[in-house]
């Protein structure tokens, strides 16, 4: 067998491709139904929608003959576990996705209604259309294509708290460890290198979030009566936030880990500017190759500031001000160590003796896989068969998936594969999130091929 046929014969490839294509209309309809459910885990008024989404996920998995339970831990939001046992002697594969989604932000920023899916120019638009309800749809497609001939056991875990940092996932994994045990894990929650070029993600950055609060006064003061002598908290906070980066825009927090590593691909700067929507004349930040900066070095982002709105601002010195800071950690760093480094830096850079309080939030470990493992080779072979005009690549991703480290810790002998349903045009977490339907179809076929190959005798020979 060749890499191009994904370790299966051409007849099997042809059969599975035909089944995936025949099932695509129903699959897209199921995905659209999921997108219509505003399952925003970070907003309490949408928690009933997260419950409703879990119910729909359970229905879809039950329809494919899986034994399904809706579970939660520590009064968290619901996740769904579905299981079909392995044939004698065959491995079990854990298929992961999440059904919760990000908030939409200002609805006026969207071309259409965020939770009303619409297809335009070969892409499906809507919040969660890619991140990550498409991941569940890929798993459904593979299970449907293989049908009763599914040669491996499958356990499907569809989480309901990924977008809020998976706070109860460790407890859920501990409680359901036996139910979730697997030989191979497929996490369909990353992105491909570009439209038409599939990728296997072999590294992810970690995450530390904090809220920093600065206080200088017991109460606001008249800016004319006291301005020029008394420091106001908002100006102090601005100084503190400016100290997170040097003049090049590189991270200036001592103690955060960064490194340089060879990459099989390089991100062309002009392509990056186009993908990011960078305005003319705006320069890039940091130093080193683009992929190093995105994958192997830390980043610090100020994601929000609490201060008076311009239209409502009194002419006064602010007594307190606060901001939310998100730090992406390079592979090899540790969240607890990074939190200490960030906290010390925030205290050290506050001028005028201002009082600083740092409240920790989400913490998640980075991840690095062995891209030469047999399971990774099989996945790249399946990609090559599903995208016959492209050469699959192994890449890093600057984002964070807390589950990867957790599963690697709980099941240290399982091979963890992070696959993609997104692309640089997806705009996950932003306005007009979308899914490229051509690559979506190919991802469905690739996963069906991978499951077929993992269930074959001596699949890693």
> DSSP secondary-structure letter at 163?
G
Given 3-state DSSP classes, what are the helix, strand and coil percentages for the chain, each rounded to the nearest 5? 35, 25, 40
DSSP 284-304: P-SSS-HHIIIIIS-EEEEEE
> Which residue in 73, 3, 21, 123 sits closest to 427, CA to CA?
123
Give 204: exposed, middle or buried? Use CB within 10 Å, 0-12, 13-18, 19+: buried
Residues 136/15, Cβ–Cβ less than 8 Å:
no
> Which residue in 403, 439, 401, 407 sits closest to 423, CA to CA?
439
Q: Who's near 350: CB < 8 A, 6+ residues apart?
A: 214, 236, 239, 240, 356
Q: Which is it for the CA torsion 25, 30, 34, 36, positive or negative?
A: positive
Q: Who's near 100: CB < 8 A, 6+ residues apart?
A: 39, 40, 41, 50, 53, 77, 159, 160, 161, 162, 163, 164
Q: Which residues are catalytic?
A: 100, 162
């Amino acid at each position: 067998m060749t890499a191009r046929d994904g370790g299966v014969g051409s007849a099997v490839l042809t059969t599975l491709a035909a089944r995936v294509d025949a099932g695509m209309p129903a699959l897209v309809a199921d995905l659209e139904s999921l997108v219509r459910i505003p399952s925003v885990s970070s907003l309490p008024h949408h928690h009933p929608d997260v419950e409703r989404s879990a119910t729909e996920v359970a229905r879809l998995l039950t329809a494919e003959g899986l034994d399904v339970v809706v579970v939660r831990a520590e009064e968290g939001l619901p996740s769904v576990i579905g299981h079909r046992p392995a044939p004698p002697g065959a491995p079990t594969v854990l298929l992961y996705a999440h059904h919760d989604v990000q908030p939409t932000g200002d609805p006026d920023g969207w071309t259409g209604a965020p939770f009303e899916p619409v297809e335009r120019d070969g892409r499906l638009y809507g919040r969660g259309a890619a991140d990550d309800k498409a991941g569940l749809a890929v798993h459904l497609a593979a299970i449907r294509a293989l049908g009763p001939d599914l040669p491996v056991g499958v356990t499907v875990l569809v989480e309901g708290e990924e977008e809020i940092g998976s706070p109860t996932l460790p407890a859920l994994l501990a409680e359901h460890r036996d139910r979730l045990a697997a030989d191979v894990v497929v996490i369909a929650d990353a992105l491909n290198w570009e439209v038409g070029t599939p990728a296997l993600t072999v590294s992810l950055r970690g995450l530390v979030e904090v809220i920093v609060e600065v206080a200088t006064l017991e109460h606001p003061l008249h800016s004319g009566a006291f301005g020029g002598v008394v420091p106001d908290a908002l100006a102090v906070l601005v100084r503190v936030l400016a100290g997170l980066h040097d003049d090049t825009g590189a991270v200036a927090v001592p103690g955060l880990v960064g490194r340089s590593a060879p990459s099989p691909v390089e991100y062309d700067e002009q392509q990056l500017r186009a993908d990011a929507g960078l305005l003319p004349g705006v320069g890039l930040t940091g130093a080193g190759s683009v992929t190093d900066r995105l994958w192997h070095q830390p980043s610090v982002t100020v994601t929000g500031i609490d201060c008076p709105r311009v239209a409502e601002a009194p002419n006064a010195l602010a007594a307190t001000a606060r901001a939310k800071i998100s730090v992406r950690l390079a592979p090899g760093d540790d969240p607890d160590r990074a939190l200490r480094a960030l906290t010390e830096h925030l205290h050290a850079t506050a001028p005028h003796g201002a009082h600083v309080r740092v409240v920790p939030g989400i913490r998640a470990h980075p991840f690095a896989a062995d891209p030469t493992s047999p399971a990774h080779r099989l996945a790249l072979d399946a990609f090559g068969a599903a995208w016959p005009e492209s050469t699959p690549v192994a890449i890093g991703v600057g984002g964070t998936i807390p589950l990867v480290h957790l599963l690697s810790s709980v099941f240290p002998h399982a091979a963890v594969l992070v696959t993609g349903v997104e692309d640089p045009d997806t705009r996950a977490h932003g306005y007009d999130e979308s899914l490229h339907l051509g690559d979506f179809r190919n991802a469905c076929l690739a996963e069906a091929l991978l499951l077929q190959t993992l269930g074959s005798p001596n699949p890693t020979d």
